[in-house]
């Protein structure tokens, strides 16, 4: 049985800048509590170590979640080319990879263009919510089980180098539904013969929702009576 919607008057979208360290579910729980029990869902998970645009839908707008999830997303990704990690980001155990010399910027640009743009095969991180024979991969990984995540086709529209100072690489990425930016960091390291792990991620856009217009969680009204239909985007 689903949670009863105590605020049927609230139907629309909140455009939130998710804080570092928060899960997407925690943001939804806060919105549900502050609003006095509205029906709430989000359009695309951000990991706790990522920040940026989280589209939160209330009431009848939750039916629009699949269409929002299909929208193009944009990211700013910080990548460490000196190491891999068990989670493909800074949360996991780090393994340093020795290289004879830093990789040239031109080499990184070439490899990105040849292997990481278009419709590409990608294996989700082992610590992810994908299901393997009915089980969540991250639960299997935490239990020490042996498994491989299945590759899938994802769409990457563009990958641009914003900054590079070995071993730190900053990328701006536009991609379609289901693309793991952690996997791009990992696979780039494999392709370059270096390490590759995500150290920071900001989702800067989901469709028409841009981070410059997003609300922080501190800006949300703390009084449920202040939650009116006018607070939400249509």
Residues known to be catalytic: 47
Tokens of 144: 């020490």
Question: In sequence order, what are the residues at sequence separation of 6 or more whose Cβ sits closer than 8 angstroms to the Cβ of residue 201?
Answer: 46, 47, 49, 50, 51, 52, 75, 76, 77, 78, 89, 181, 182
C-alpha–C-alpha distance, residues 181 and 24, integer Å: 17
101 in Cβ contact with 107 (< 8 Å): no
Query: Cα–Cα–Cα angle for 6, 8, 12, nearest 5°?
Result: 120
Contact 90, 49 (CB under 8 A): yes
Joined tokens for residue 158: 């563009």
CA 233 to chain centre: 22
The CA distances from residue 23 to 77, 95, 208, 229, in Å, are 18, 26, 22, 25
Best CA proximity match to 147, nearest among 161, 135, 165 = 135
């Amino acid at each position: 049985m689903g949670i009863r919607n105590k605020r049927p008057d609230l139907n629309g979208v909140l455009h939130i800048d998710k804080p570092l360290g928060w899960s997407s579910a925690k943001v939804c729980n806060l919105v549900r509590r502050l609003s006095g029990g509205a029906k709430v869902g989000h359009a695309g998970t951000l990991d706790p170590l990522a920040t940026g645009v989280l589209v939160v839908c209330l009431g009848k707008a939750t039916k629009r979640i699949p269409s929002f999830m299909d929208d193009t997303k944009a990211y700013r990704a910080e990548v460490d080319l000196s190491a891999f990690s068990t989670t493909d980001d800074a949360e996991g155990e780090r393994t340093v990879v020795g290289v004879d010399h830093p990789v040239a910027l031109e080499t990184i640009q070439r490899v990105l263009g040849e292997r990481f743009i278009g419709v590409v095969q990608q294996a989700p991180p082992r610590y992810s919510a994908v299901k393997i024979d009915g089980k969540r991969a991250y639960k299997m990984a935490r239990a020490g089980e042996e498994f491989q995540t299945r590759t899938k086709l994802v769409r990457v529209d563009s990958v641009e180098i914003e900054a590079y100072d070995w071993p730190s690489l900053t990328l701006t990425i536009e991609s379609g539904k289901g693309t793991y930016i952690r996997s791009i960091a990992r696979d780039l390291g494999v392709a370059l013969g270096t390490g590759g792990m995500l150290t920071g991620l900001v989702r800067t856009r989901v469709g028409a929702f841009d981070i410059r217009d997003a609300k922080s969680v501190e800006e949300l009204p703390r009084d449920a009576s202040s939650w009116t239909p006018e607070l939400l985007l249509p």
